[in-house]
Amino acid sequence: MGLIASLVRPAPSPAVRSGIARCAYDASGEIGACDPLLFWDPIGYCQDGCTKEDFDRRRAVELKHGRLCMVATIGMVWPDIFGKFDGYLSPSQNLKFADVPSGIAAVSKVPLEGWLQILLVAGLIETQLLKDQSFGGFGYAKYGQEPGNFGTGYWGRKIQDPAERRLKLTTELNNGRLAMIAMSGMLIQNGLTGQSPIEQLTAGHISPFNDGQGFFAFDPSQELGACPPLGYWDPFGMMAFQDEEKFRRNRELELKHGRICMVATIGMIVPDLFGRFGGYLAPSMDLKFSDIPCTIEAIYKVPTFGWLQIFALAGAIEAKNQAFPENYGYPPFWGRINTLEPEEKQKKLLAEINNGRLAMVAMAAIVAQNGATGQSLVEQFTTGNLNPFVGGYAQLDASDRLALRAEFGSGAGKSTAIPWDPIPEGLSNDIFNNTYVGDVGFDPAGFAKNQRLLPWYREAELAHGRVCMLAVLGYTVQTSGAKFEPFITRYPTDSADPLKAATQVPIVGWLQIIVVIALSELWRYENVISKYSQGVQPGDLGWNPTAPVSSPRPAPLCSFNCWLMVEEWNNMKLREIKHCRLAMVGFFFMVLRNASTGEGPSLLPNLTTAEFQSSVGDFIPRDI
């Protein structure tokens, strides 16, 4: 009948339909649009098609979830702080309140009758006791009421002052939002650690992963392979959400790939050094061993039956892995399993893991080198082809090299730094550019597109580089012991740990440092940065008034005269920017090493002899 009625009902005319416009409700003036985000709707709930009724329903849902999460957040921490109720939660099942754990594990303890009671009370609250008229529909009768207003007032008090009422409602809404985020975080934390928030904090279980507590109690940092200098190293977080079973699987794969790469690395080098086998690899195809190159091109030379034999052998080895996935004995495949002493076995297993890791890195580099040059590793070195992007570069005369460079770099519209990429927008790719010396066409982040800020970027690069050059020198001076002594500070200073020494500078010293830096930065802003529009070059402090510079220069705080030719001046600027870039990278790693080891590195060589270098035949440090 409904279908028939829809067929016989006259359709509205296009003119009438086009005259109806449905505008989105403007919710930017509602409660909750406050600092710092103001009206925040990243998903677009209140965009086209949202009406006042739609907004009221979502606001009512937001308030309901916020109120529930405020109570739930208290419930997650209260029992562990103030204790649980006495007596029985379910006398028929002999279940006491004290037996119910804190956190989401409590869900499994509530009996079926308890869940039925909870759902019944929740239904009564939803439909009768505190029903929300703003929902409308079945059980609610009408729209138009204020969302979340049950008519109970603020603790029974009806607030008459509009400003106070808006403040209280905003506070409730924001506390509910915070509680929803907090409850989500608590549930995730509880699931990861197996402990309630209070249990985790009191147990010192700050990290939820692999510290001997919680669901991820397995600690891979104590396993074989976590050795100096990196210790336990997991930059990709492979073990962040894993247990011991997953670690064993990853270790099996690591050993397998390492063993394959050790054999493959040897196979990429030995034939070119010691020669190939004599005779035929495939007599039926007249294919000799000498016809197989020592490059990745060799895979195209192997016939189909050869690949079948390789797969069959790999399958047989994999079948053995099902029984002994990590243990081939020593020597391997001789059947001598578990014959080594425990200490000797640990030493050899560690050596195998580390050699496998080195082989995986080496094999990846060899394959990349092979793909870039078209030559095997030994062929590349013996032919002098040290430039991987221009084949035979070192064998050609200077005139031929200029012709080959036209295929790459600026001659072909390519970046000097990355010869296969075009020149980035905004850069000249001219290493002796008058304004931006050292421009080699390297801008992966696209900073040069903003030409207005490009001078400031160069200014920042030079400023940071100059500071890092001084810092690298300061590290070397500090660690070598060649520093000023007690008359600077009455506190003891530390030569071996520059980062620790920084904490020993008194407050007055830091104030002096900050004042000097602030005055220097103010002078640089007034005389250099603000004068870019007048022709002053970024980083030009005007220290050498006799320099061959045609652009305007700032009045220097101090100066010295050094007569230089234009070519010499340009070379000096190029050297400066190169040293700046090198110093920024170097200083970062110096600080990283200092923080991880407690000792500062130095540009001066350390002539002390390591323990493993002083013992004949003992090539592995002891106690690892």
Residue set of the binding site for chlorophyll a = 40, 62, 65, 172, 175, 177, 189
| C-alpha span between 226 and 234 (Å, rounded) | 10
Label residue 515 exposed, middle or buried (CB < 10 Å: 0-12, 13-18, 19+).
exposed
Distances 112 to 104, 107, 116 between C-alpha atoms, Å: 16, 11, 6
What's the token pair of residue 248? 């064993």
555's CB contacts (< 8 A; 6+ apart) are 527, 542
Relative to beta strand 287-288, strand 280-282 is: antiparallel
Q: What is the CA radius of gyration of the chain?
A: 37
Please classify residue 283 by burial: count the beta carbons closer than 10 Å to its beta carbon, then call 0-12 exposed, 13-18 middle and 19+ buried: exposed
* 359 phi/psi in degrees, rounded to 5: -65, -35
Cα gap 231→13, rounded to integer Å: 77
Please answer whether residues 62 and 134 qualify as being in contact, where contact means their C-beta atoms are separated by less than 8 angstroms: no
Contact 209, 103 (CB under 8 A): no
For residue 43, how far is the Cα from the chain centroid?
26
Binding site feature residues for chlorophyll b: 67, 126
Maximum Cα–Cα distance across the chain: 103
DSSP secondary structure string for all residues of 517-555: HHHHHHHHHHHTGGGGGGTPPTT-----TTS---S--PP
Q: Which parts are annotated binding residues?
A: 40, 62, 65, 67, 126, 172, 175, 177, 189
Q: Identify the H or E element spanning 568.
A: helix 566-597
Asked if 387 and 278 touch (Cβ cutoff 8 Å), the reply is: no
